[in-house]
Each structure stands twice: as C-alpha cells, then as structure tokens.
Structure 1
C-alpha cells in the first residue's frame, strides 16, 4: 500500500504533529510505503501564479508540481492532517490543492480520470466544540469541500475524522483521540475501495456527469 500524507501545521509541538507521528508509526506497522508532504518544511508556495495558469494551455507544469503529481499517481491513498482554521483548510493546504490537483490531472482532454479509484482520509483538529462546529456550519463546509474535490476527481472513498476542542481536552482524552486516529487509518487496510465513505453518490460527481452529458 502506497500512501501520501499531506501535512500543514507550522508548530512543531502541536497536536497535529503528534497525530502525524502517530499515523506514520501506525502505517509502518501496517507495512505501508509512506511519503510525507510537510508543506511548511518544504516551503511549498501555495499561491497559484502565472505559470500555473499558463499550464492550462501549454500543459507545461512547474517542476515542483510535476513531482507532486507523480507522487499522487504513485499513491493508493492520501491522508490529510490539518487544523480547521475559519471553517476550512489552512492556506498552505488549500494552495497545494489549487496548484497540484490540476484539471488535466483529474480529467484529461480524452476523458481519462487520472486519480480515479484512489482513496482520501482527512483528519481535522478544531479548537471548538462539536456543537459549535455543527451549528456554525463549519462541518457542512468541510464535508462539502471534501465532496467537491474527491468526488469530482472520482476517488473511490473520501472520509473525514474530526477531533474537537483539542486545546481544552485532557491528556487522557488526547491519548484516546490518537487511538481513534489509528482505527480511522486502519480503514484503508481493512476495507476495500468503495466500502467506506464511497463517492459513488457524490453530489459533485453527479453534477459533473450531468454537465458533461449536456454539452
């Protein structure tokens, strides 16, 4: 099993870093081949510039984007580890998606979906309670963004694990969260593609297919 981890927290002593270390160790136990994309350490530029836009016409991508796309194609599954800031991804992760998940990669001009059948498992931490994340519609926004990206790209599965009130929980509760993360990651190994959070009923995928059929 080949797995990419996309990580975007700037603080080396954050709970996100503890999750990252836990996930890496657990994947190693499960025998996975792992590539970690620590975007802060990579100094990844999240801003889509002129060359990124020109690539839509020329198909000549910046070298660093070619490398990231090759790793996406290599991987069977993508794990995202991220805090929730203002209802969504930090800019560095959103920028990675903007620059690396190009239209040509997701769906080529001859209709081939380059990432079809891959799997996505996102682990998000929040500083707010579950009730606040639900009532403020941040949960809806996260699930909609998840569906829009991975449904559109025809991933077979796209699942989310939300960890709430992280700054206020006890050490024991954090340890329990890390064990819960292990069980979440185990789904990659213990379930076949399409058995988990399948994108078959993705609203984004349905909208795409309707749009393609009408043109």
Structure 2
C-alpha cells in the first residue's frame, strides 16, 4: 500500500525526527511504499495567498476560495500545491506527524492543509440539494483512504484526560480529525499520542517505538473512529444538526461519534 507522511518539526534530531525515521523504516519493512513531505526541509510556504495562482490578474482582489477554485479547475495552481495533491491521490493512507504547539498543529502544517486542500479538491465537491449537502464528512475526494495523527506533547496524559486542565485529548484533536481529515472523506484512525516528551529515556523510547510499530502494522486493519456521516441520515439537511432522536441528552464533539 502507499503511505504519505506529512511531517512538521524543524529539527530532524528531535524525538519527532526519530519517530518519523522509525515509521518510514517500519512501513517499508512491511512492504508499503512511503513518501514523506518534510515541510520544514521543503521550506514549505505556509500562507495561502494570491501567489498560489499562476497567471493571475494582479489588479483583481484576492478571494481565497474562488481563486483556489479557478486555479484548480484551470491548471493554474502553484506547482508545489499540485505536487502535494498528486501525493494525496497516490496515497492509500495519510499520516500527519507533528508536535502539539498551542493546542494544535504547527503553523507550517496548517498552511499545508490550507493550500493543498483546494476548492474542488479538499472541499467544494458534490451536489448541494435537499437531501445531499456536498460530498464531505465521510465522502469526498479522500473517501476510501485512511488517515492517522501521530502527535507529541510535553504535557502528562492526565493533563489531557476527561477532567484534565488541558481538556480531553480527543476534544483537542477533534478539529483536526473530524474537520481536516474526516471532512474530505478519510477514514480516521484513533491518534497515536506521545505524552511527557521531556521525560523520554532509552527505555521509554523503546516502548514508544514498540507501541507505534504495532499501530503502523495495523494501519489498514484497525477500525476507524465512528464519526457520523453527513449525508447518511443522521443530520437534518440543510441545517446539518443531529436529528433529535440521536445522542439524546448529548452535545458537543462526542455527539458526532456513533
């Protein structure tokens, strides 16, 4: 199978660098084909702006979604965007690997999402009608592919527990897992989270490698998170709210998991 790893850490000699090297070696040892988009090494341009459109009328106001749509439909996207889209088309699975900075992914990875997920590629696809509100949240260009987050954080696991000061890790990652990954159609696997990165010794690193290796071995076998699909009857269209009889008494992120 084909696996794309999008990796965002500025130091290859870091824990993230070691995890990335391990993941590539493990996946290849299992017979998978692997590509890595090392965003810092690529000097990836993070901002989405008018420079992402070739042959653009510089006098016209820049409109992020409409310019993105025009560029995608007419083969006028910046070449670096096209290359990453080609990698996503090639991949059977996507791994986003990053350190958690300020409760999210590093800005350079967010910029990868904003630029590569062009209108007509990552969003804005499918019909909009009284029964179908676009191909998204379980449908879309990435349907049939798998995705997983590998994330490191300095906080303790208890800090990210249900009553932890930082909030539950599943809630913190929900915008990425449900929004960035499930939205364009990926089947999203539970995340692999490494806590207390400042307390990593050789013994714990070996245990971390072992746990990550087991997850990578099951990349195409583990059950994905059971996010509710938008167009399969759970949501009232066009309001896109859960039907009253579903997840009764629940609200927030957890209500959107079946």
Counterpart position of 1:71: 87
In terms of Rg, which structure is larger? Answer: 2
Aligned partners of 2:46 and 2:111 also within 8 Å: yes
Counterpart position of 2:250: none
TM-score, with structure 2 as normaliser: 0.73
Partner of 1:190, secondary structure, is coil
- The verdict on how the C-alpha distance between 1:206 and 1:186 changes in structure 2, with shifts beyond 3 A counting, is farther
Q: 1:45, CA displacement in angstroms?
A: 0.5
Counterpart position of 1:166: 197
Aligned partners of 2:93 and 2:147 also within 8 Å: yes
Counterpart position of 2:69: 56
Counterpart position of 1:147: 178
Counterpart position of 2:44: 44
TM-score, with structure 1 as normaliser: 0.87
Q: Is 1:30 equivalent to 2:30 in the alignment?
A: yes
Output aligned runs, 1:1-215, within 5 Å. 1-52=1-52, 53=64, 54-59=67-72, 60-107=76-123, 109-111=125-127, 113-134=140-161, 135=164, 136-137=166-167, 139=169, 140-191=171-222, 195-199=223-227, 201=228, 210-211=237-238
Runs of 4+ in 1 over 4 A off after TM superposition: 107-112, 202-209
Partner of 2:193, secondary structure, is strand
Number of aligned pairs? 210
Aligned partners of 1:158 and 1:198 also within 8 Å: no
What do the CA deviations read for 1:107-159 (whole angstroms, capped 9, x no partner)?
45554622111110111000110122332126212133211122211112343
In the alignment, the residues of structure 1 paired with residue 39 and residue 203 of structure 2 have an alpha-carbon distance, to the nearest angstrom, of: 29
